[in-house]
Chain A
Amino acid sequence: MTEEQSFLRNHWSYVASNTFRTLLMFGVMILVWWGTSEGQGDMTIYLAFILVMSVVIVALNIIYWLKTKYYFLEDEIVVIRTTIFRSETRIQYDRLASVNVERDVVCRILNATKLSFNLNSSMNVTKAEAYIVLKKDKADRLREDLNSRMFGTARTVPEASEEPREEAVSLVDVSTWDIFLHAFIGMSTYQLLFGLVMAAYSILSFYFDNSVSVFAIILFVVEFLMPAFAAFFRYFNYSIVRQGETVTVSSGFFSTRTDCFKLSKVNFVKIREPLICRVLGKSILEAEVVGTSDTKGMPLLCPLKDRDIAYNLFRDLLPEFVCEDLQSKQSRVSMVGLGFWTLVTVGIIAGFAYLLVPEIPSGFGMFLNFCVVLMYILCVGWFVLAYRNRSIAMNDSIVLAVTGSFDRVSNYILFDKIQFANVFSNPVERRYGAAKCKINMLSTVGATAVVTGVFEADYLEKVSETVMARIRDGRYDFRRFQ
């Protein structure tokens, strides 16, 4: 790398954002220390400490900022850092899975944008390989430039001299009400029920005992309200736009996020239908693309919408993932395993009910009895739905594995994206020639596996056989997914 080559540096908001975050953390820590000393501590010492730390942090951030250079070369991005720990990161454009845009509150105030570069590798799935913070218009142009290099798409962000273009239209029309429904009823049935039971428990404890059950309220807030509001703010103002083979998904209330990926980088597709959504005829469409997700979940292609809308989008966007072959139902022997786990769960619930319910005062006793009956019903419901829902279908390029019980998930997996498969069986299943199959794939959180229901072992062996057959006869072409 020569000194003459032009390079980019992070926008100064990078220093501001990092300093702000660190100082906020120190501030909270000092408040906690001061609080634990019951206000007896000398505040000037803490303030002096904050001042010294601020100077040190600002200085370190400025050094880090000045010593980090980004070179956008013909074939690759080179990030050179010449701080105490020197590093040089090289990212080839053809290995990039996605370039994502994140704008937190500081970035929005200072009109900056953070671009993160993600590789299609299991080693870098949850953490971006590199990122750069630039002024918004500069970041938009750079992202478009990188997208055109990676995906061969036309430019969509106008140069300063160009006339502004019409804004691209979202593939699905998503209202705030849709996002509200997605956030509150799109969660798993267990989570929804648990939240509602905790809410009911805290109301009843107030009614019968004139006291508030803090533990139940905390569980209700942590397990239900917080995830629901987090999802609402995360997917607020949702839009999905397609330009050629590139899809751009953007959303966010406080922090906005834009994920941009090539359709060929989709590892597999999920259609999620939690029980209540299924009853309302609604579905959620998700895609697994490395680098476009974090620990909060897979990127959405369509939030909770009518089933027809979600399926039509799926067919339009990812036709190669569609599998409309006849689905095989589970082998009857699966009832043995499902029945076993149902009986074990019923036994545990009965044991707890026997030990706990008589100890509780009458009002709560009634409520707990109701909960116990509800859990018995849930166990039976789980048994019936787990037997009915799980199915499998295959053609020569796709395997469709439907899993789940209350929450049905249809996994559409390309054979070419399967890393390896494991067909396994317990003694009862073996006796009847049945088995389950664990299909291992690359995912946004490292590696993931889909475990099918119980089907004929010979049929499940076809998963591995087809993967091998496609490699051997050349139907698998790695260039297709680059």
Chain B
Amino acid sequence: MLTYLIRRLFAVAVMLVVIILAVFCIFFLIPKWTGTDPATMFVGKQADKESIEGIRQKLQLDDPVLVQLFEFFKGIFFGRDYVGGGDTTHCSAPCFGYSFRSEQEIWPVLTDRLPVTLSLALGAAIIWLLIGLSVGVLSALKRGSLWDRLAMTGALAGVSLPVYFTGLLSLAVFAYQFDLVANSFTPFGENVSKWFSGMILPWITLAFLFGAMYARLTRATMLEVMGEDYIRTARAKGLKEPVVIGKHAMRSTMTPILTLLGIDIGALMGGAILTETTFSIPGLGQAVLKAINERDLPLILGVTLITATAVVIANLIVDLLYGVIDPRVRLG
């Protein structure tokens, strides 16, 4: 188990290095080839030659690619110093550089916004698991019934309706018309109950989308599992049907759902852009949307790395949980 864990952690480290390399290529080489000068983007087009030159020096844009790469890595793991124009700016590790627009350090922006996105994703995940699993199981057990058809129609709607539609609709109805919940985001640190009230609609909106997918997956998996021989054995033992379903069938149904959950939560760390924008939640998604609009390369780069890391780590956790659920994949 321990050797497996070490091996996996090593693989994660290699993976992250590869991701950083790829990100570096995309954000440093492509601007070079397309002729967009990061220095111009940093200072603005109206700036004079000297300040552009100063920035070029400071960002070491004229150095060989390998030197730039080395500095980039060094910045992430140990921090780096930007020297130029007569002063030195220290950017402590992990250093992703400075925003082209706000000229703020990227890392604090990320750490500010990550918890918001995390709370959005995890809260929604709890709701969509509860809804998706129960609807899926019920649909499987009542296959072909009116309930099944209604639930699956609802699931189809959930999958196909965009978040900005369901989100805005729920905002209009529950926040503005009936005033049941808050219509805007309040930071957790400011007021917990207001934060909760403001998060309910985003959670439900996001959960509606994902819950629909989970309901469909649960239903399909459950139907498959119910046809397994060991379910017949469980009944042949004289077990009550709730035990047969809740214990024997659910255990097997959980495996594919867990896999999907790991990928989904990891991917949501990159920001639920639509949900965050719809509900004005200051998470990573909103930040990255703004960054894309403003061609703020360092910020995009930071969010990309965070997302990739989250997916890799979520997958590692899922794989470890897999071993707990399914003894056949338990590795030594």
The reply to whether chain A is a binding partner of chain B is no
